[in-house]
Amino acid sequence: MEITVQCCKQSKNDPFDDNDSENGTLLPGLPDDLAQRCLSSLSPSLIFSVCHSWRRLLYSPSFPPFFSLYALLSPLHNPTMALHREVVPQSTIVFFSFDPISSSWRPLPSPPQNPSFHLLRRHPSFLSRNLPIQSLTVSNHLIVIAATTQNLFPALSSPLVFHPESNIWFYGPQISAPRRWCAAGSAQDVVYMASGFGSHYQGDVARSLEQWDLNKKRENWGWENKAGLKDGRFSREAVEAVGCRGKLCMVNVKGNALKEGAVYNVGLDKWEDMPVGMVAGWNGPAASMDEDEIYVIDEVKGRLSKYDGEKDCWVKVIELEQLKRAEHIAAGRGKICAVSAKGERIIVVDVRDKPTRFWEVEPPCGLEVVAVHVLPRMISRQH
């Protein structure tokens, strides 16, 4: 059913006058359940702009959720605390969601504090380097899987999980060997964690691959060992394991440095060599769109490219000054969301548009972006 909405000045006969808004009427003359079915075919931005009753419907739990941008952020000025005359860095990560319809940022509920929650972004011992905080999305969940404490130990013994549609945080199954600097990613609603570095280097951990299957019932969740890597070269840096067409693709070093690639075949539980063209063009952060296409940004040139598996080459989508120094990207709903300029900007590229269209989203005041993800919007009790 098509509905044409015409915006006009209100009059006494206007079906969207204040009385209708106050009474919650959606479409006069129709019961609300039928009206909701009609309105669900409209774009969320149009529903938001018409009247208050439609806007309330848009944010109600019964209406299909639109997708939003989720961000891990860090204060521009690193907070510290004096303890026994020593400067101790404090937890510097906060979580926000950007509503693309109202163009507003909202903080997520506070994560659980038991066990104590400390994810460190900066440390006085590493003035020129930010400590990695690894996060991913699986089955419409935001998952923080690896980070560092103020003592430079692994911060998470279990993944920290946020479910936007229920608006709650919880912990996943306990990790057998908590780690940082691992390769983390997902494929087919399964989380994978490869290699990594714990409180000290362990060869078996550095060569390991484990999976957590979110397709199973929650009471059956757990980490399972899978085919291990041939060596520990993927424990040097925190990297993305990009899921695409039943495989996980990863390189062991970020940026334009000389690197090695590896591909894990999910169905066969075996490791394969990465195609030469794929590893040669993997010169920055990468992400997959619906696990069907891999995109990468050359952090020096600011070039966004898509991988062509048949020709084993990267095809340029767009090259932008704003994409230079990109540190992290996420893909979803036909858009690439890139964190660049040392976390000071988020660039969104709509790869479905011809010509390709892009725009910038400003982070919340006083915060810089660590990572972004695309997930359904949070359920709002009141808007």
Residue 40 in domain: no
Residue 37 in domain: no
Q: Please report, as a single letter, which amino acid is at residue 331.
A: A
Residue 166 in domain: yes
Q: Please report, as a single letter, which amino acid is at residue 354.
A: K
- If you count them, how many residues does the chain have? 383
Residue 324 in domain: yes
Task: Band the pLDDT of 344: cuts 50, 70, 90.
Answer: very high
CATH of the domain at 262: 2.120.10.80
| Closest of 245, 251, 199, 258 to residue 229, by C-alpha | 251
Residue 16 in domain: no
Q: Which domain holds residue 151?
A: 69-376
Residue 229 in domain: yes
Cα of first residue to Cα of last residue in the chain, in angstroms, is 28
Task: Band the pLDDT of 10: cuts 50, 70, 90.
Answer: very low
Residue 285 C-alpha from the chain's centroid: 13
pLDDT tens across 14-69, in order? 333 444 444 568 998 899 889 988 998 899 999 999 999 999 999 988 898 999 99
What's the structural domain count of the chain? 1
Rounded to two decimals, the pTM is 0.88
Residue 10 in domain: no
Q: Is the pLDDT of residue 205 over 70?
A: yes
Residue 294 in domain: yes
Q: Is the pLDDT of residue 116 over 80?
A: no
Please say whether the beta carbons of 327 and 343 come within 8 A: yes
- DSSP per-residue string spanning 176-211: SS--BS-EEEEETTEEEEE--B-SS--HHHHT-EEE
| Closest of 54, 51, 65, 58 to residue 8, by C-alpha | 51
Alpha-helix residue ranges (DSSP H) falling in 12-150: 18-23, 32-39, 44-50, 52-58
Percent of the chain with pLDDT over 70: 87
Please say whether the beta carbons of 260 and 279 come within 8 A: yes
